[in-house]
Amino acid sequence: MMKKLTALLLVAIMALGLLAGCGTTENTDPSTEPSDSTTTTEPSTEPSDGGETEKYYIAASHGYGAVQHWQIKTIGMEDAAAELGVEFIYKYADGDLQQEVADIENFVEMGVDYIIVGPCNSEGIVPTIEEAQGKGVAIGTCDIGIDGADAAALGAYALRVFCLGAAFAGASVVLESYCQSCGSERPAFWLATFRGALLLIPMTLLLSRFGPMAFWWLYPATEFGSLTLFLLIWRGRTAAQDLEAERILRRTIGSGESELSGLTAAVEEFCERWEASPKQSYFVTMSVEELCAVIQKKGLGGRPGVIQVTLIAQPDGVLALHIRDSAVSFNPFALDARRAGAGADFDPDALGVLVVREKAKEFNYRRYQGFNSLIVKI
C-alpha cells in the first residue's frame, strides 16, 4: 500500500547519501570497480523468521560507469539503502545504449519498485522508460534528463501544480510575518504548524495512495488547506475582537514633539472612560509620554518616522500598551539605569524609563522585520 511513498522517501534519503559520498576522499579508481557492477539478489517476498515482511528494491542504471562522480554517488546510494534495509541494484552501461536498455528491461523483469536512470542517450532510452512506466515502475533521473513528449508533459504538469502551491505558500508566509510583526505569536505558530505537520502528514499518507501523479498535489493541497483553516480561525477571532473594539485606542504620531500632547490627552480620556484608578491612569499616561519621547529623541533622532500606539483595556482591568516604531534598532528598556542617579552624566530619559519598568506588571521589547515593538502592562 505504501510502496510508492516508500520509493519516493528512499530517493530523498539517497540524495543525502549522495552529498555525504561527494565529500569522501576514498580512492575510487575505476580499475578497482567492476565495469558491470551489480548485485545478484533477486526480488523475493518470502517471509523471514520474524514474520511476513515485504522487501523494496531500488535499481540504478547509468550510461557512463567510468565517471568517478557517479561511482561516488553509487557508494552513497548503497549506504542509504543499507541503512533502510532496502535492496539496491545497479549497473553501468559504459556508453552502450543497447546495454542500458537491456539493464533496465532486466530490472523491470526482476520486479524492482523504482529505477534511477542516468541515460547515455536521452532520446534513445525513451521507449524503454515508457514501457517500464507502463508496467507500474517508478522512474527517476540523475545527472542527465530524458527527452520525449511524455517526460516534457510530466515536467510541465508538475511545474503548474508547484506554481499553484507557491501562490498559497506565499500568502501564508506573508500572513505569518504580519502576525509576528504585530505581536500575535499564537496565530503565526498555528499557521506554521498546519503547514509543517498537522496537514502535511495526513496529506502525504492520503495522496500516496493514488499514485505519483496525485502525489504532486501534496504541496498545493497542504498549503491551500493550511491557509483556509487559518483564515477561518482568524475570521472568528477577529469577529470576537470587533465586539470589543471600543476597548482599543489606536493612535499614530510622527517624530515631532508637539504631537505628544494630543496623544497623552487621548490616553487620559481613554483611561477615564474605562474607569481606571487615578494611579493607574497616571502611570499609563506617563509610560506613553516617556517611552514615545525617548523613541523620538534617541531612536528617530529627529529623522522622519512613525510611532504606532495601541492601548487595550483588558477585561481583567489591566491596561496593555503596545508601541511600534520605525526607528533604527533601539530598546528603551536597555538604557543604562545607573545614569538615572545623580551625577554629571545624569540622564533624565533613563530615569523615566526606569520608573516605567518598576511600575509595570510586565514589559518586553522585540525587533522584528525593521520595527521596534514594546509591550507594557499596567
Q: What backbone torsions phi and psi does residue 168 show, to the nearest 5 degrees?
A: -70, -40
End-to-end CA gap in the chain: 59
Identify the burial level of 265 via C-beta atoms within 10 angstroms of its C-beta, where 0-12 means exposed, 13-18 middle and 19 or more buried. exposed
Last residue of a domain, one of 117, 147, 177: 147
**Per-residue confidence in pLDDT tens, the chain, 378 aa:** 444 444 444 444 444 344 333 333 333 343 334 334 444 444 444 434 444 456 778 877 776 766 677 777 778 888 888 888 888 888 887 778 888 888 888 888 888 888 888 787 777 788 888 888 888 888 877 766 665 545 566 777 888 888 888 888 888 888 888 777 666 677 788 888 888 888 888 888 888 788 777 878 888 888 898 888 888 877 766 554 554 678 889 999 988 878 888 898 999 999 988 888 989 999 999 999 999 989 988 888 878 889 999 998 888 888 999 999 988 888 888 887 665 555 556 677 788 888 888 888 888 888 877 788 899 998
Range of the domain at 84: 3-42+55-147
Give the Cα separation of 23 and 142 in Å (integer): 18
283 domain residue, yes or no: yes
Single out the residue in 242, 273, 308 at which a domain terminates.
242
SS3 211: coil
DSSP 51: B
Q: Is residue 111 in some structural domain?
A: yes
Provide CB contacts within 8 A for 317, sequence distance 6+: none
Which is nearest to 172 in space by CA: 121, 223, 101?
A: 223
Looking at residue 243, its amino acid is L
Cβ contacts of residue 166 below 8 Å, gap of 6+? Answer: none
- How far is Cα 235 from Cα 229, in angstroms, rounded to an integer? 10
Does any domain span residue 47? Answer: no
d(CA 246, CA 251): 14
Q: Which single residue is written with the C-alpha cell 531612536?
A: 299
DSSP collapsed to 3 states, 89-101: EEEECCCCHHHHH
Q: With contact defined as beta carbons under 8 Å apart, do 113 and 133 qualify?
A: no
Based on the fold, state whether residues 99 and 162 are members of the same structural domain: no
Q: What is the CATH number of the domain that holds 99?
A: 3.40.50.2300
Same domain, 227 and 288: no
Number of folded domains that form the chain: 3
CA–CA separation, 92 vs 95, rounded Å? 8
Kindly state whether residues 9 and 136 are assigned to the same domain: yes
Contact 98, 46 (CB under 8 A): no
Is residue 48 situated within a structural domain?
Answer: no
Phi, psi dihedrals of residue 183, rounded to the nearest 5°: 85, 10
